[in-house]
Amino acid sequence: MKAADTASPSPRRRSLLFLARFFALLVVFYAVVAWNPVNDAAVVPFTAGIARVSAAVLNAFGEEVSVAGTEIHSDKFAVQIENGCNGIEAALLFGSAVLAFPAPWRRRLLGLVAGFAAIQALNLVRVVSLFWIGAHRPALFSSSHTVLWQSAVVLASVLLFLLWAARFAKDDEPDTRHGA
């Protein structure tokens, strides 16, 4: 005979609660970053920073680029980094999942910081490679931008969450629930 654990919701209920929290957080976060005062004060300067860092990497590789706001340009090619191409949407997707997941808050915070850094590192590779493709293989730019890299960044954010949830979100305390 198993003791009933009424304090712990069923796996189905936990999954539904996670999904409800995830979608609610996603809507709130997207609304916040889409709000013009936040976009102008935080998102645009952040995106301009991505352009500057990307340009520094491109210059280190001999591309001879310059930056104007969120645009990177050279004699061969120019690209404007827009919302959706700055890694913020992928980070919001990841962050919503981490915050919605039932894990200790310290682990959530560590997951948010590490995940954001990983997503931004991948996005830096994305921006640099897309500029290089645009400058040297322009016929491949559109498909690389819309098919390859957009999918890769979103998939990476999902995989990062799954890795975090499977390995790092677990509580250090042993499971004391009764039953299976």
End-to-end C-alpha distance for the chain, whole angstroms? 12
Distance CA 50, CA 2 (A): 56
Q: Is residue 93 within 8 Å of residue 154, measured between CB atoms?
A: yes
Residue 86 confidence (pLDDT): 95
Residue 2 confidence (pLDDT): 53
pLDDT band at 11 (very low <50, low <70, confident <90, very high): confident
Question: Has residue 1 got a pLDDT over 80?
Answer: no
pLDDT tens figures, 86-110: 999 999 999 999 999 999 999 999 9
DSSP H helices, 35-168, are 36-38, 44-60, 88-100, 105-136, 141-143, 150-163
Question: Has residue 158 got a pLDDT over 80?
Answer: yes
Residue 132 confidence (pLDDT): 97
Task: Provide the token pair at 121.
Answer: 């590192």
| Overall average pLDDT of the 142-165 stretch | 94
Triad 140, 79, 126: Cα angle to 5° = 60
Q: What is the pTM of this model?
A: 0.86
